[in-house]
Structure 1
């Protein structure tokens, strides 16, 4: 127990997470990590923290979610602490805002925590992420493809307000602390569901890597911390370079000098572009490394004039010696593959959305409308990749021997050329399993041997 408290106190001191007398909102879900976080912060008596317990009921697991809420309320009462709780319909939020369930839940939580912090005048909101969470995040981003910023993963302090005091503790240390203190907690049944990519990393990939290095989670967390330190340096360099290369930065957008950009190192240029896009739209939603490289290509292009439309309504215009970033209109096409990690609601180019859920198959699959599909989850496992049509794409259609060109499917369906690029193609294990609205793949079909099924539906733009 003393070792755990010493590690948390050392991290707090190194990163100035708390000062004596701070009011701190502690996010408590009822699970082991957040319950331990609350008890640890209360045990750091030298800090004299004024703690507010905050719990958001996501309304996703019925009675189990309500049980979590009651547990946290009783926990706060037993410790004599203020308790703030709200309920959010995360499923409806994901549909309304075209987000996955994970993203919708995250948005609802942070919105609730922000409002609670303002209400109590809290300097910090404490989150219970630990070293194993850090390792999972690093691997998840590595599998998707990420640079230094992405692999730096979670930092002890984010956006000034959010702090993660447990990042140096492992899951086993936290569980050992709770056992020693004889503190009970709730278990979220969904954490064992390997349908979700993060859970598969936790239960399958990390145990496999542990055979090579038993300390793999700690090593990955250390790597993320080192990368975060490097990222701070690179961001400072990028800030200075942005000021040096910018001709204008105002409410209309950002205008950069092409010749000045040519003098910068490639990695610095990439960060300048990302910073410019973030200033224009307030974030980098949908922006991938491929988009950043596209911007660099037009900066170095011999063509003096060029226009590029990127996700998040980012318009990039090259005009002779300048390249300007501004708010534009949605391009309506596919620039990069969409990763579908599991059930949820995912936005698609053109305003449509893909909804995915684990559910029993309908009674009559033959009467399924073309915009819906049902697959054997063991033959179409997550993660899926969803992208637009590319020349040469082929599918082994349900009920047919061999394969067929997707181009010929579009021709048979009299699909206009300009519309073809908007039709999503769903891949699992690098195999095309669904040309949305047209044909499903034979390999992922539901049969009498199917154990688990996944339903997918593409909705039209609203």
Structure 2
């Protein structure tokens, strides 16, 4: 039998004297973990026992909580428990009990770690859990990043038993004379993980008795590969990301020079940056983005789950939140001052001395003759049919044509502020000054308009 205490010491996951939140359900694995950590480094770790009551099994759930509370008291450790209605959470999120429970647990544990200023959270996942996780993700169609399974150490999460079998854990419990709670729901094969544990893994074991060990080893190999590929992706992301854009954007020509596998990883990275996660994003979505990037159409858009848009505009491929891609705005400007616009931007208007250079501060600032641009002004979004007299031009031009000539991506045209005095557009912010309100050599004090945080 493996010496579990020596095994955990050799992993060096915990600094001596560290404050560690230990997730304890009351089951065999977490009871063993708590006892081991209590003995680790001669008991120098400052442990906080954390238990989440899922409110799924009535008095049995309450009995689990009471058991863990008594266990913590017996060790003289701090104990934190919380009750959450996981069934209600699953209904609210439209997800399974398994997924809702997982989310609730990690949220609870993160909160306990913050409250107690812990450096890490210890979880009792073992090698058999890892094998089940790999199979679950394989059945759901995961790629390399999913098939790498759980990490021995990822961020604050530490899994000291991840390379240890369930059989080794049970031997340790018997050796130490420790008792634990059995959760009857773990035998319910209506849950996917339980079905894999009790039905699929035993079946695969007929072909390879060490199937759990081999699956866990495969996960470790993939984790190492993913670490390397992640570094390659990060370097390519920094190299190919277009500067000065509010959302992740790439040159279509630049993407075309990269291998398909790297392009798909770049799309995943950009989606994660924009959305915050990759939930409901599958290979079909990544392939659709790749087709959009390789399309001959200069302007197109792709709607993805999670209110995310991928926008193709000439040579630019952008990943934008749906709510920020469009949206009309119309703000009255009574005089000098600051005016809030959409997207966290601000219009600042001030009366200043005529600068020596009128292009100072361009493209986010412009100067106007107060006599030629009387208040009130309006700052608004583009409307079909808008016409404009660009600086140096006697007649007018369609604003849409100006956008096209300047290769302003179609989805971004609605974000560009148009400054209007009376019924005349005097400035396309960040694009072009107008002729009719331009400052002349005879002008004294002039009006300065600035769009703060402007990004085209």
- What is the TM-score with the length of structure 2 in the denominator? 0.69
Give the match's secondary structure for 1:137: helix
Aligned to 2:46: 50
- Give the CA deviation at 1:46: 4.5
Structure 1 gaps of 5+ residues are 331-462
Structure 2: distance between partners of 1:278 and 1:326: 11
Structure 2: distance between partners of 1:8 and 1:215: 22
Aligned to 1:380: none
| Alpha-carbon contact 2:152-2:159 (below 8 Å) kept | yes
- Give the CA deviation at 1:248: 3.6
Aligned to 2:9: 9
Matching residue within 140, 164, 168 for 1:144: 140
1:43-442 to structure 2, matched below 5 A, reads 43-46=39-42, 48-158=44-154, 160-248=155-243, 252-328=246-322
- Give the CA deviation at 1:100: 2.1
Structure 2: distance between partners of 1:304 and 1:283: 28
Structure 2: distance between partners of 1:281 and 1:184: 44
- Give the CA deviation at 1:9: 2.2
Structure 2: distance between partners of 1:80 and 1:65: 23
| Alpha-carbon contact 1:56-1:88 (below 8 Å) kept | yes
Aligned to 2:366: none
Per-residue displacement from partner, 1:75-125 (whole Å, max 9, x unpaired)?
A: 000000000001001112222233322222122111111111111110000
Give the match's secondary structure for 1:83: strand
Per-residue displacement from partner, 1:141-178 (whole Å, max 9, x unpaired)?
A: 111112110100101122x1111111010111111111
Aligned CA distance change for structure 1 residues 80 and 2 (closer, same or farther; 3 Å)? farther
Structure 2 gaps of 5+ residues are 325-456
- Give the CA deviation at 1:47: 6.8
Per-residue displacement from partner, 1:228-251 (whole Å, max 9, x unpaired)?
A: 01001001100010111110476x
- Give the CA deviation at 1:43: 1.8
Give the match's secondary structure for 1:24: strand
Give the match's secondary structure for 1:153: coil
| Alpha-carbon contact 2:128-2:212 (below 8 Å) kept | yes
| Alpha-carbon contact 1:126-1:165 (below 8 Å) kept | yes
| Alpha-carbon contact 2:26-2:180 (below 8 Å) kept | yes
- Give the CA deviation at 1:45: 2.6
| Alpha-carbon contact 2:16-2:41 (below 8 Å) kept | no
| Alpha-carbon contact 1:315-1:329 (below 8 Å) kept | no
Aligned CA distance change for structure 1 residues 97 and 146 (closer, same or farther; 3 Å)? closer
Give the match's secondary structure for 2:320: strand
- Give the CA deviation at 1:329: 5.6
| Alpha-carbon contact 2:98-2:191 (below 8 Å) kept | no
| Alpha-carbon contact 1:8-1:168 (below 8 Å) kept | no
Give the match's secondary structure for 1:44: helix
Larger CA deviation: 299-308 vs 22-31: 299-308
Give the match's secondary structure for 2:3: helix
Structure 1: distance between partners of 2:130 and 2:218: 10
Larger radius of gyration: 2
Aligned CA distance change for structure 1 residues 204 and 259 (closer, same or farther; 3 Å)? same
| Alpha-carbon contact 2:51-2:68 (below 8 Å) kept | yes
Structure 2: distance between partners of 1:5 and 1:52: 19
Larger CA deviation: 320-329 vs 216-225: 320-329
